[in-house]
Amino acid sequence: MDRRSPTDVALALRTATLPGGAKVPILGQGTYRMGEDADKRRSEVSSLRAGLELGMTLIDTAEMYADGGAERVVGAAIAGRRDEVFLVTKLYPQNATRERMRAACERSLKRLGTDRIDLYLLHWRGQVPLRETLCGFEDLIEEQKIRYAGVSNFDVDDLGELARLKDGLRRIVTDQVLYNLERRGAEFDLVPWCRQRRRPLIAYSPLEEGLLSHQAHPVLGEIAGRHDATAAQIALAWVLRDGDVIAIPKAARVAHVCENRGAADIRLTKRDLDALDESFPPPSDRKPLETR
């Protein structure tokens, strides 16, 4: 019998399943540009906490953001409620050697005010051989400093190279990439590649840095009208449409966080999806993965 209370049911977000079985909400929260301005800190912390209340418990950050400042904001937001959160952070490629990764991880843990990271991502591919980075991840998993490992901004070729290494994909549970209505290149091969291997993708900049929130876009506006929603909600609902892509919009205003949460409950119809395909055409051939 389903024993969830009505409140829980109202709050329940769809989840994606990582290799190994962990379930994570398909809608999380980004933190790029947080921690840059002390005057904004209070609203950034409040926004992240509001998101947690609404079930958006996957929080994405990076050692790069505001030079550690975003991790500190996240640390403040999750203080006292660490166990509710699925915490994702990223290391610089130059820190992807075994020794440097351990030190980078310790610094991130300190700024985040926790003893473990749930998902640790290589932010983009650099000069360090992938084999060495995998060893670094393995060490940290054994030491229980991180639970899962993954990559970001890896194109299909990079993932293929990883997969050809012995146990190369064993610890890699996701790839975090630029993916939204304006940037659909990943659909050509990266999305199917990950889907086949049951690795949920994490879509960053799902609102194209806010550009997709403009109600004035005729098709987004029209679909939004049909769903009594906003353009931003339709753009997010589109990223979430198949249930195995995780979106991490960044919102430093509580109103935006609430609006984004609402997107996860919108189911786009075939008519909506066809109209979006007309306006934002899917890729017809392979292109290198776009990044920012």
State the residues that interact with ligand NAP by CB under 6 A: 30-32, 60, 123, 152-153, 176, 204-210, 213, 232, 248-253, 256, 259-260, 292
CA 30 to each of CA 2, 51, 59, 65, 83: distance values in angstroms, whole numbers, following the listed order: 32, 11, 6, 11, 18
Q: Which of 143, 218, 206 has the alpha carbon at shortest distance from 178?
A: 206
Cα Rg of the chain (Å, integer): 18
Pair of tokens at residue 64: 């790069």
255, exposed or middle or buried, with CB in 10 Å at 0-12, 13-18, 19+?
Answer: exposed
**Residue (5 or 78) nearer to ligand NAP, CB:** 78
Cα angle 32, 38, 42 (rounded to 5 degrees) comes to 80
- Give the Cβ contact number of residue 128 at 10 Å: 18
Q: Which is nearer to ligand NAP, 215 or 269 (CB)?
A: 215
65 is catalytic: yes
Instruction: Using the minimum distance from each CB to ligand NAP, give the nearer residue, 51 or 136.
Output: 51
Please state the closest distance from residue 177 (CB atom) to ligand NAP, in A.
7
Quick one: 114 or 180, whose CB is closer to ligand NAP?
180
Give me the least distance between CB of 170 and ligand NAP, in Å please.
22
Alpha-carbon distance of 12 to 267, in angstroms, equals 15
Q: Quick check: 113 and 144 in contact, CB under 8 A?
A: no
Helix (H, G, I), strand (E, B) or coil at 208: coil
Minimum CB–partner distance for residue 273 and ligand NAP (Å): 20
Nearest residue to the partner ligand NAP, using Cβ: 30
In the complex, what is the shortest distance from the CB of residue 60 to ligand NAP, in angstroms, rounded to a whole number?
A: 4
Catalytic residue (one of 65, 120, 148, 204): 65
Nearer to ligand NAP by C-beta: 4 or 42? 42
SS3 129: coil
CB of 5 to ligand NAP, least distance (A): 28
Active site residues: 65
